[in-house]
A and B are shown apart, each in its own frame.
Chain A
Amino acid sequence: MAITYGSFEFPSPSPIVAIGDSPIYVAGELDRSLTKITLVGQITGSNLSGLAVKKNSIITGLLSQFETLDVEGEEFLCARPVSLSFSESDLTTFLPYSAEFESYDEKSFSQYFGVVNPSDVWTFQEQQNRVVQATHTVSANGIKTGAGDPLVTARNFVNGNLNGFENLSFVNPSGVAFLTSKTEEVNRFNNSYSVTENYSFSTSREPISNSGLISATTQISYTKGSEGSININGSILGDLTGARITTGLFTANDARNLAINAVERSRSSYESGIYGVLSSGPSSYSYTVKEDANQIDFSFQFRDPFNVRTGDVFHDYTVSVSASKGNNTLTAAIDGTLTYDAAFDIFTGGSIELAPRYVKILAEFENLNLYALAAEKYGEFIDVVSGYETSKYLNPIPRTESVTKSPFIPSISYSYSYDNKVDFSSGQLKDLTFSIQDTLPIAKTEIKESNNGFASQETVLRTLGRLSINASCSESADKLPILQGIVSGFLSGKNCQIFEEGLSTGDSSISYNLGSYY
Chain B
Amino acid sequence: MSLIIHKISSSSLQINYVNLESDELFGYDVVANYTVDFADITYTNEQNVLFEGIEALRQAYQRKNLVARIGGDEFINGRLTNQSFDESVLVGSSSCSLTIEESKRLADYSDEFNQHIPSPQWIESFSEAFSFSRSADSYSSSRDVSIKYKQEAGAQFLSNAKLFLKNFYFNSRPNLGYHVDGISENGRFDGGFRPLISEKIDLLGLSVSLTENLETAFIDDDHSKRTSYSIDVDAGGYSQKKYTVEIKAIKEPLEVVAWDACKAILGGLLASNSASFGAPISIEKGINKDGGEISLNVSFSNNPALNQANTATYSVVKGRNGAFYTYSFSIEILSDGKNQIEKAANAKAYWLTQLPTYALKVQSLFPEADPIYEQSRSSSFSIKDAKISDSVVFTDDPSYNSASLPEGIIKLKFKNDITPQIDRTRTFVDVSDRIEKIELSDLLTIGNGTFTMEATAFKSKGLFFARDYLAGLSFSVGETIYRSNEQITISDEGATSRVIGYEFK
Cβ-defined contact, B206 with A27, below 8 A: yes
Contact B64 A319 (CB under 8 A): no
Query: Cβ of A328 and Cβ of B456 under 8 Å apart?
Result: yes
Q: How far is the CA of A125 from the CA of B380 in the complex (A)?
A: 59
Asked whether A79 is an interface residue with its Cβ less than 8 Å from the other chain, the reply is no
Q: Tell yes or no: B272 within 8 A of A by CB.
A: no
Distance of A5 Cα from B289 Cα, bound (Å): 69
Taking A266-B287, A420-B460 as known contacts, 12 extra A-B pairs with beta carbons closer than 8 A to each other, sorted by chain A number, are: A28-B149, A29-B64, A120-B204, A126-B196, A168-B203, A170-B208, A224-B281, A225-B306, A389-B459, A389-B460, A390-B458, A435-B490
Stretch at the interface among B323-331, B430-438, B481-489: B481-489
Residues of A within 8 A of B197 (CB): 124, 126, 171
Q: In the complex, which residues of chain B have a beta carbon less than 8 angstroms from the beta carbon of A440?
A: 486-488
- B112 is an interface residue with CB less than 8 A from chain A: no
Asked if A318 and B380 sit within 8 Å, CB to CB, the answer is yes
Residue of A nearest to B488 (CB): A438
Q: Using Cβ atoms and an 8 Å threshold, which residues of chain B touch A26?
A: 151, 204
> Which of A184-192, A239-247, A377-385, A497-505 interfaces with chain B?
A377-385
Given A318-B381, A319-B380 in contact, is the A391-B458 Cβ separation under 8 Å? yes
Q: Chain A's nearest CB lies how many Å from the CB of B41?
A: 15
Is B127's beta carbon under 8 Å from chain A? no
* A25-B457 in contact given A325-B402, A326-B376 (Cβ < 8 Å): no
Measured CB to CB, the closest approach of chain A to B145, in angstroms, equals: 11
Chain B binder among A267-275, A362-370, A474-482: A267-275
A275, B503: Cβ atoms under 8 Å? Answer: no
A108 CB within 8 Å of chain B: yes
Q: Is B205 an interface residue (CB 8 A)?
A: yes
Q: Are A17 and B87 in contact (CB under 8 A)?
A: yes
Across the interface, do B205 and A121 meet the contact criterion of CB distance under 8 Å?
yes
Q: Are B339 and A308 in contact (CB under 8 A)?
A: yes
A16 surroundings in chain B (CB, below 8 A): 87-89
Asked if B315 is an interface residue, CB under 8 A from chain A, the answer is: no
A-B contact pairs, 27 of them (CB 8 A): A17-B87, A20-B82, A22-B81, A119-B202, A123-B201, A124-B201, A129-B288, A131-B290, A168-B201, A171-B199, A205-B253, A215-B290, A217-B288, A221-B282, A224-B281, A271-B283, A274-B338, A276-B342, A307-B340, A321-B379, A327-B491, A329-B493, A377-B381, A384-B355, A391-B460, A447-B503, A454-B505
Alpha-carbon distance A435/B378, docked complex (angstroms): 26
Instruction: Determine the residue in chain B with the shortest Cβ distance to A18.
Output: B87
A444 within 8 A of B: yes
Residue among B88, B289, B355, B443 facing the most chain A CB atoms (10 A cut-off): B289
Q: Is B204 within 8 A of A322, CB to CB?
A: no
Judge if B179 is at the interface, Cβ distance under 8 Å. no
The segment from B11-19, B225-233, B258-266 that touches chain A is B258-266
Q: Does A317 contact B (CB under 8 A)?
A: yes
CB distance from A307 to the nearest CB of B (A): 5
By the criterion CB–CB under 8 Å, are A437 and B487 in contact?
yes
> Contacts A119-B202, A439-B485 given: A434-B492 contact, CB under 8 Å?
yes
C-alpha spacing A384/B354, complex, angstroms: 11
Interface residue ranges of A72-130 to B (CB < 8 Å): 72, 74, 107-109, 118-130
A307 CB contacts on chain B under 8 angstroms:
339-340, 384
Chain A residues with Cβ under 8 A from B443's Cβ?
449, 451-453
The answer to the question of B453 belonging to the interface, with a C-beta cut-off of 8 Å to chain A, is no
Check if B340 sits within 8 Å of A129, measured CB to CB.
no
Interface assignment of A344: CB less than 8 Å from any CB of chain B: no
Given contacts A391-B458, A454-B446, contact A170 B165 (CB under 8 A): yes
When the two chains form their complex, are residues A224 and B289 in contact, meaning their CB atoms are under 8 A apart?
Answer: no
Is B446 a contact partner of A449 (Cβ separation < 8 A)? yes
A404, B487: Cα distance in complex, Å: 45
Q: Are A109 and B262 in contact (CB under 8 A)?
A: no
- From known contacts A325-B402, A435-B491, infer whether A262 and B456 are also in contact, taking CB-CB under 8 Å: no
A205 surroundings in chain B (CB, below 8 A): 253, 255, 290
Pick the residue among B199, B262, B281 that contacts A124 (CB under 8 A): B199
When the two chains form their complex, are residues A202 and B290 in contact, meaning their CB atoms are under 8 A apart? Answer: yes
- A325/B379 in contact, CB under 8 A: no
| Size of interface on B: residues with Cβ below 8 Å to A | 130
Return chain A residues, CB-CB under 8 Å to B340: 307-308
**Chain B residues whose C-beta falls within 8 Å of the C-beta of A203 in the assembled complex:** 290
Q: Are A318 and B282 in contact (CB under 8 A)?
A: no
Q: How many A-B residue pairs have CB under 8 A?
A: 388
Cα(A74)–Cα(B54), bound, Å: 13
Within 8 A of B (CB), among A221-260: 221-225, 227, 234, 258
Across-interface contacts of A216 in B (CB, < 8 A): 288-289
Cβ of A436 within 8 Å of any chain B Cβ, yes or no, is: yes
Contact present for B290 and A219 (CB under 8 Å): no
B336 sits at the interface (CB 8 A): yes
Per the bound structure, the CA–CA distance linking A402 and B157 in Å amounts to 83
Q: Is A152 an interface residue (CB 8 A)?
A: no
Residue numbers in B under 8 Å from A329 (CB-CB):
459, 493-494
Most buried by A among B85, B290, B377: B290
Contact A1 B89 (CB under 8 A): yes
Name the B residues within 8 Å of A204 (CB-CB). Answer: 289-290
Q: What CA separation (Å) do A72 and B151 show in the bound complex?
A: 35
Q: In the complex, how many angstroms separate the beta carbon of B164 from the nearest chain A beta carbon?
A: 10
- For the complex of A and B, 6 pairs with smallest distance between CB atoms: A276-B338, A328-B494, A391-B460, A20-B84, A25-B151, A28-B154
Cα A323 to Cα B460 with chains together (Å): 14
A426 to B210, CA, bound (A): 89
Bound CA span A436–B463, Å: 10
**B89-A437 in contact (CB<8A):** no
Compute how far the CA of A223 lies from the CA of B64 in the bound complex, rounded to whole angstroms. Answer: 73
Q: Which residues of B contact A381 (CB under 8 A)?
A: 379
The reply to whether B267 and A270 form a contact with Cβ atoms under 8 Å apart is yes
* Chain B residues within CB distance 8 Å of chain A: 61-65, 79-91, 93, 149-158, 161-162, 165, 196-206, 208, 210, 253-256, 259, 262-263, 266-267, 270, 279-291, 293-294, 306-307, 309, 311, 334, 336-342, 348, 351-352, 355, 374-385, 400, 402, 410-411, 424, 443-446, 456-460, 463, 467, 482-495, 503, 505
Q: Is there an interface contact between B205 and A273, defined as CB atoms closer than 8 Å?
A: no
Q: Which of A128, A393, A422, A434 has the most CB of B within 10 A?
A: A128
Give the CA-CA distance A26 to B151 in the complex, in Å: 7
Q: Select one of A130, A316, A444, A451 contacting B290, CB under 8 A.
A: A130
**Distance from B499 Cβ to chain A, minimum over Cβ atoms (Å):** 10
Is A387 interfacial (CB 8 A cutoff)? yes
Contacts of A347 in B (CB 8 A): none
Chain A residue contacts of B267, Cβ below 8 A: 268-270
**Inside 8 A of B210's CB, which chain A residues have their CB?**
170-171
CB-CB < 8 A to B311: which residues of A? 224-225
Q: Which A residues lie within 8 Å of B282 (CB)?
A: 221-224
Q: A107 touching B199 by the CB < 8 A rule?
A: no
**Bound complex: CA A448 to CA B348 (Å):** 66
- A123 touches which one: B82, B199, B375 (CB < 8 A)? B199
* Contact (Cβ within 8 A) B85 A170: no
Distance of A13 from chain B, by nearest CB (Å): 9
In the bound complex, residues from chain B placing their C-beta under 8 Å from that of A130 are 254, 290-291
The reply to whether B79 and A385 contact each other, CB–CB distance below 8 Å, is no
A229: nearest chain-B partner, CB-CB: B284
Contact status A120-B287, CB under 8 Å? no
State the CA gap A308–B345 with chains docked (Å). 14
Please state if B204 and A319 are interface contacts (CB–CB under 8 Å): no
> How long is the Cα–Cα vector from A451 to B443 in the complex, in angstroms?
8
* Contacting pair B82 A258 (CB below 8 A): no
CB-CB nearest in chain A for B489: A437
Residues of B contacting A124 with CB < 8 Å?
Answer: 197-199, 201
- A23 and B81 within 8 A (CB): yes
Query: In the complex, what residue of chain A is closest to B271 when comparing beta carbons?
Result: A270
Report chain B residues within 8 Å CB of A388: 377, 410, 458
Q: Is A442 interfacial (CB-CB < 8 Å)?
A: yes
Please tell me if A421 contacts chain B, counting CB pairs below 8 Å.
Answer: yes
| Contact of A380 with B348 in the complex, beta carbons under 8 Å | yes
Does A445 lie within 8 Å of B196, measured CB to CB?
A: no
Instruction: Kindly state whether residue A351 has any CB partner on chain B within 8 Å.
Output: no
A107–B62 CB distance below 8 A: yes
